[in-house]
Amino acid sequence: MLSGDVTVLNIKHAILTRVAELAYEGKLEEGRDAIPYEISPGPKSKFRCCVYREREIVKERVRLAEGLDANPSNKSHNVVQVIKAACDDCQISRYTVTDNCRGCLQHACRSACKFNAITIGKGNRSYIDPSLCKECGQCAKACPYNAIAELVRPCKQSCPTGAITMDENGICVIDESKCVQCGRCVHSCPFGAIGTKTSIVDIIKAMKAGKKVYAMLAPSWEGQFGADITIDSWKPAMKAIGFTDCLEVALGGDLTAAAEAAEWAEAYKAGKKMTTSCCPAFVSYIKKHFPEFTDNISTSVSPMCAMSRMLKAKEPDCVVVFIGPCVAKKAEVRDSELEGNADYALTFGEIRAMMRAKKVQLEPAEYSTQQGSVFGKRFGNSGGVTNAVLQRFKETDVDATNIKVAKCNGLEECKKTLTLWKFGRFTDDFIEGMSCIGGCVGGPSSHRKEMLAKKDRDNLIKKADDRNIEQAIEMEKIDLKSFSMHKGSHSEA
């Protein structure tokens, strides 16, 4: 196990920062191989069985930091990957007999097992043979002393899609046909054995090549870094580390709300049920687990894609980088259906690594800059998409009195609602799907937990002027005809 002062996050961030430093210096090629020895100099190990294993883990993390597969032999399309050298010592058997076993004469556990997986050993105590156990749980239910514990590995327990299993050596395996890259498993592993590919090196290379690289902050950023950190704090910090400018994706939320409202109104008239499309993990979940509803997914692009297309309509050669708490956005930027989408996506932790590499900090600043409406700013909250679309209906005089929307907060709720739909028991008109509890503000790579950030977030949004969606679009002088708001080509022509 990791010692108390050496956490998974400390190690991960130290590696990301060092990779960013070397990339900025143009010395990554010659400095890459030294990173494992810098992190774990030896001769004694800090947190694993030996320095050799520690260095192998660092080596795999460095590869992820460069945007490569953790293991060269992986050939994986997933951005979420298992760091095999770090996967360690988790209980393989789901059901285990504990010391609470009294060695009773009844042996209700053995009687309840239909697979002959339970034998009676020394001291008349029960034993479960993991090779025969089917993990049905009947033995645990039958034991009068609650002596049989259900032990589910944290990574597997956190996965809402059943994509995580174990190989014959007990190493975690991610089934890419089921994985929606929501990122929940990444921070659930106490050993830090699951990580994600990053784009830090490619972004720094683009900066050093003299390209115009724009940073775009997700609508969920407010409150993540305190009540005195505003967009006016972010802009100078982003420019100091090499970005051309920093913009708010809240404006993209307004653009998406306008497009989605028009699409919903048309679908409602036609009697067609639809789902939202702004959460990439939710979209992937439908395609992989409820493919019969793929045609019911809104064709409106996400706020990230909308903002990117707006920027590229003005500057076709610019590079666009999304920054937020979302892991699935890293997969969305690779979606071939979304031409003109952002080029890269970073988590808050990854942008902070770039800032540390350049010794730049977010400094408190007065709130004076606003691009999106309040509705766009709340796009990252559960229910925020629905509220923005309903607001757009008001602005365009569409009667939404009878429209019913199921707001699904987390993939578990999404599954329940989609299952009802599958069996003809879903009676609402639309589904707003968010893979993370609380919405994007509860994303796996949030800097602060949702409830801790909520107060500061609400106070920051209160400082925004009360402009509506139409006003936000007009104030930025956006020509909606210059780019498409729907999947496919980003050019209207």
Whole-number Å distance between alpha carbons of 492 and 234: 32
Domain-located, residue 100: yes
Q: Are residues 227 and 278 in the same domain?
A: yes
Q: Are residues 86 and 107 in the same domain?
A: no
Q: Are residues 172 and 251 in the same domain?
A: no
Q: Are residues 144 and 230 in the same domain?
A: no
Q: Which domain holds residue 372?
A: 201-482
On average, the pLDDT of the chain sits at 93
Domain-located, residue 46: yes
Domain-located, residue 140: yes
What are the DSSP calls for 345-407, one per residue? Answer: EEEHHHHHHHHHHTT--PPP-------S-HHHHGGGBTTHHHHHHHHHHHHTT---TT--EEE
What are the residues whose beta carbons fall under 8 Å from the beta carbon of 73, sequence distance 6 or more?
none
- Residue 55: pLDDT band by 50, 70, 90 thresholds? very high
Domain-located, residue 135: yes
Domain-located, residue 29: yes
Count of domains observed in the chain: 3
| Predicted confidence (pLDDT) per residue in 166-198, tens digit | 887 888 999 999 999 999 999 999 899 999 999
Domain-located, residue 488: no
CA gyration radius, the chain: 25
| Predicted confidence (pLDDT) per residue in 412-458, tens digit | 999 999 999 999 999 999 999 999 999 999 999 998 887 888 889 99
Whole-number Å distance between alpha carbons of 386 and 406: 9
What are the residues whose beta carbons fall under 8 Å from the beta carbon of 337, sequence distance 6 or more?
487, 488
Domain-located, residue 487: no
Whole-number Å distance between alpha carbons of 6 and 10: 6
Q: Are residues 464 and 359 in the same domain?
A: yes
Q: Are residues 295 and 393 in the same domain?
A: yes
Most confident of 80-89, 128-137, 139-148: 139-148
Strand pairing category for 274-275 and 194-196: unpaired
Q: Are residues 174 and 287 in the same domain?
A: no
What are the residues whose beta carbons fall under 8 Å from the beta carbon of 119, sequence distance 6 or more?
110, 126, 127, 129
The pTM of this model reads 0.91
